[in-house]
Amino acid sequence: GAVVSQHPSWVICKSGTSVKIECRSLDFQATTMFWYRQFPKQSLMLMATSNEGSKATYEQGVEKDKFLINHASLTLSTLTVTSAHPEDSSFYICSARDALAVRNTIYFGEGSWLTVV
Amino acid sequence: AQSVTQPDIHITVSEGASLELRCNYSYGATPYLFWYVQSPGQGLQLLLKYFSGDTLVQGIKGFEAEFKRSQSSFNLRKPSVHWSDAAEYFCAVEGRGGGNKLTFGTGTQLKVEL
């Protein structure tokens, strides 16, 4: 089946630095990718929707200047957490829509753990 | 606004017992419906999905779900649970027509007693 890969799987960064998380669709073209944040034992909260070649659409309450999303190609979207703080520590998951699949199927990555110290 | 309710936060069943996880949705029209499973620290795996047609949907790992329009429900079932089924289960909906975002329920944590 279709595969979505996230990198890194886990990252530790110092407070005040920026960290980038990549989301790649390995065997299909993803015109749309989604970024979620998940706190322990909670559901997924959609942060933003990114469309290839255009600006991301952010959900209400998500700081676009803090969570920079770039979708430069049909197989890659990146999330950059700028000036990270400990409260940004979380599990970040991306998903990608396979526009050519039946019913625009969405596939999820394995997630990335971010710890800000 | 669309919403998804999973009334049970935690469920514990014995291995070999049957399982039913509840999901109710609120949406203007019948949306696309999904069940995902998440193991600790992992991403989400699609168990099954309903778009149209037969209201009883078969999925992977022996799971099935039944769409009931009159009850706005899409409950997940398995006749005999295995210890490896212990995980978090999420119900999700997406507006028809594609291109819309998924809205997730709050999840149900399944524990399996040996």
3-state secondary structure of A110: coil
Both tokens assigned to B70: 């009159």
> Which of A:54-113 have CB within 8 Å of B?
91, 93, 95, 97, 103-111, 113
Name the average pLDDT for chain A: 91
In this predicted model, what pLDDT tens digit does every residue of A47-86 receive, in sequence order?
999 988 888 999 999 999 999 999 989 999 999 999 999 9
Q: Where are the alpha helices (DSSP H) in chain A?
A: none
**Contact call for A91 and B90, based on CB within 8 A:** no
Strands (E), A1-117: 4-7, 10-13, 19-25, 30-38, 44-51, 57-58, 67-73, 76-81, 90-98, 106-108, 112-116
Contacts with A, B 2-31, CB within 8 Å? none
DSSP structure string for B44-112: EEEEEEE-SS-SEEE-GGG-EEEEEGGGTEEEEEESS--GGG-EEEEEEEE-TTS-PPEEE---EEEEE
Residue A3 has which token pair? 């595969």
Report the percent of chain B where pLDDT is more than 70: 96
Q: Which two tokens stand for residue B46?
A: 């699609």
Categorize the per-residue pLDDT at B98 as very low, low, confident or very high, splitting at 50, 70 and 90.
low
